[in-house]
Structure 1
Amino acid sequence: MREIDVFIDTEEIADFFYQELIKRGFIPAEDEIRELADITFEYLLKKDIIAEEWDE
Protein backbone atom coordinates (compact mmCIF):
# COMPACT_ATOMS: atom_id res chain seq x y z
CA MET A 1 0.00 0.00 0.00
CA ARG A 2 1.43 3.40 -0.87
CA GLU A 3 1.29 6.54 1.17
CA ILE A 4 -0.07 9.82 -0.22
CA ASP A 5 -0.21 13.33 1.16
CA VAL A 6 -3.71 14.57 1.88
CA PHE A 7 -4.47 18.02 3.26
CA ILE A 8 -7.66 18.37 5.26
CA ASP A 9 -9.07 21.87 5.67
CA THR A 10 -11.72 22.06 8.38
CA GLU A 11 -13.02 25.33 6.90
CA GLU A 12 -13.62 23.49 3.63
CA ILE A 13 -15.37 20.69 5.52
CA ALA A 14 -17.52 23.25 7.35
CA ASP A 15 -18.51 24.90 4.06
CA PHE A 16 -19.35 21.53 2.55
CA PHE A 17 -21.57 20.59 5.51
CA TYR A 18 -23.25 24.00 5.43
CA GLN A 19 -24.10 23.72 1.73
CA GLU A 20 -25.32 20.13 2.07
CA LEU A 21 -27.51 20.89 5.10
CA ILE A 22 -29.03 23.91 3.33
CA LYS A 23 -29.85 21.68 0.32
CA ARG A 24 -31.62 19.29 2.69
CA GLY A 25 -33.74 21.97 4.28
CA PHE A 26 -31.77 22.64 7.47
CA ILE A 27 -30.66 26.04 8.71
CA PRO A 28 -27.43 25.33 10.59
CA ALA A 29 -25.72 27.84 12.86
CA GLU A 30 -22.10 28.70 12.09
CA ASP A 31 -20.81 27.34 15.41
CA GLU A 32 -22.65 24.05 14.84
CA ILE A 33 -21.07 23.68 11.42
CA ARG A 34 -17.59 24.32 12.81
CA GLU A 35 -18.21 21.67 15.48
CA LEU A 36 -19.29 19.18 12.82
CA ALA A 37 -16.11 19.89 10.85
CA ASP A 38 -13.97 19.38 13.97
CA ILE A 39 -15.79 16.14 14.80
CA THR A 40 -15.23 14.90 11.25
CA PHE A 41 -11.52 15.69 11.50
CA GLU A 42 -11.26 13.90 14.85
CA TYR A 43 -13.10 10.90 13.38
CA LEU A 44 -10.62 10.66 10.51
CA LEU A 45 -7.75 10.81 13.02
CA LYS A 46 -9.31 8.15 15.26
CA LYS A 47 -9.85 5.78 12.34
CA ASP A 48 -6.21 6.30 11.25
CA ILE A 49 -7.37 7.59 7.88
CA ILE A 50 -5.24 10.68 8.38
CA ALA A 51 -2.35 11.64 10.65
CA GLU A 52 -2.05 15.11 12.09
CA GLU A 53 1.20 16.90 11.29
CA TRP A 54 2.26 20.31 12.49
CA ASP A 55 4.11 22.82 10.32
CA GLU A 56 7.15 24.18 12.06
Structure 2
Amino acid sequence: MKEIDLVIDTEEIAEFFYRELARRGYIPSEDELFEIADITFDYLIEKCMIDEELDEDE
Protein backbone atom coordinates (compact mmCIF):
# COMPACT_ATOMS: atom_id res chain seq x y z
CA MET A 1 0.00 0.00 0.00
CA LYS A 2 1.32 3.43 -0.92
CA GLU A 3 2.01 5.86 1.91
CA ILE A 4 0.83 9.45 1.51
CA ASP A 5 1.67 12.62 3.40
CA LEU A 6 -1.32 14.16 5.12
CA VAL A 7 -1.15 17.24 7.29
CA ILE A 8 -3.82 17.71 9.94
CA ASP A 9 -3.67 20.27 12.70
CA THR A 10 -5.92 21.03 15.63
CA GLU A 11 -7.06 24.34 14.13
CA GLU A 12 -8.30 22.54 11.02
CA ILE A 13 -10.10 19.99 13.20
CA ALA A 14 -11.65 22.77 15.29
CA GLU A 15 -12.94 24.55 12.18
CA PHE A 16 -14.44 21.31 10.88
CA PHE A 17 -16.22 20.60 14.17
CA TYR A 18 -17.50 24.18 14.39
CA ARG A 19 -19.06 23.96 10.92
CA GLU A 20 -20.58 20.55 11.59
CA LEU A 21 -21.88 21.40 15.05
CA ALA A 22 -23.31 24.74 13.86
CA ARG A 23 -25.06 22.94 11.02
CA ARG A 24 -26.68 20.71 13.64
CA GLY A 25 -27.73 23.65 15.81
CA TYR A 26 -24.89 23.66 18.37
CA ILE A 27 -22.60 26.63 18.87
CA PRO A 28 -19.64 25.62 21.04
CA SER A 29 -17.24 28.13 22.55
CA GLU A 30 -13.74 28.50 21.14
CA ASP A 31 -12.30 26.73 24.19
CA GLU A 32 -14.70 23.82 23.73
CA LEU A 33 -13.78 23.54 20.07
CA PHE A 34 -10.07 23.33 20.77
CA GLU A 35 -10.66 20.73 23.49
CA ILE A 36 -12.64 18.64 21.01
CA ALA A 37 -9.92 19.13 18.39
CA ASP A 38 -7.18 18.09 20.83
CA ILE A 39 -9.12 15.00 21.86
CA THR A 40 -9.73 14.08 18.22
CA PHE A 41 -6.06 14.58 17.36
CA ASP A 42 -5.00 12.41 20.31
CA TYR A 43 -7.49 9.74 19.24
CA LEU A 44 -6.09 9.65 15.70
CA ILE A 45 -2.57 9.28 17.11
CA GLU A 46 -3.64 6.57 19.55
CA LYS A 47 -5.27 4.59 16.73
CA CYS A 48 -2.10 4.97 14.64
CA MET A 49 -4.04 6.76 11.93
CA ILE A 50 -1.60 9.67 12.01
CA ASP A 51 1.87 10.35 13.39
CA GLU A 52 2.59 13.50 15.31
CA GLU A 53 5.37 15.57 13.84
CA LEU A 54 6.51 18.76 15.50
CA ASP A 55 7.41 21.79 13.43
CA GLU A 56 11.12 22.39 13.21
CA ASP A 57 10.46 25.93 14.47
CA GLU A 58 9.14 24.63 17.81
Q: Deviations over 1:1-55 (max 9, x none)?
A: 2221110121111011011111101121110000001111000000000111223
**Number of residue equivalences:** 56
TM-score (norm 1): 0.89
Gap regions ≥5 residues in structure 1: none
Report the aligned-residue RMSD: 1.0
| Counterpart residue number, 2:18 | 18
Q: TM-score, normalised by structure 2?
A: 0.86
Structure 2: stretches of 5+ with no match in the other structure: none
Moved over 6 A (4+): none
In the alignment, structure 1 residue 45 sits paired with structure 2 residue 45: yes
Percent identity, aligned pairs only, is: 66
Q: Identify the residue that residue 30 of structure 1 maps to in structure 2.
A: 30
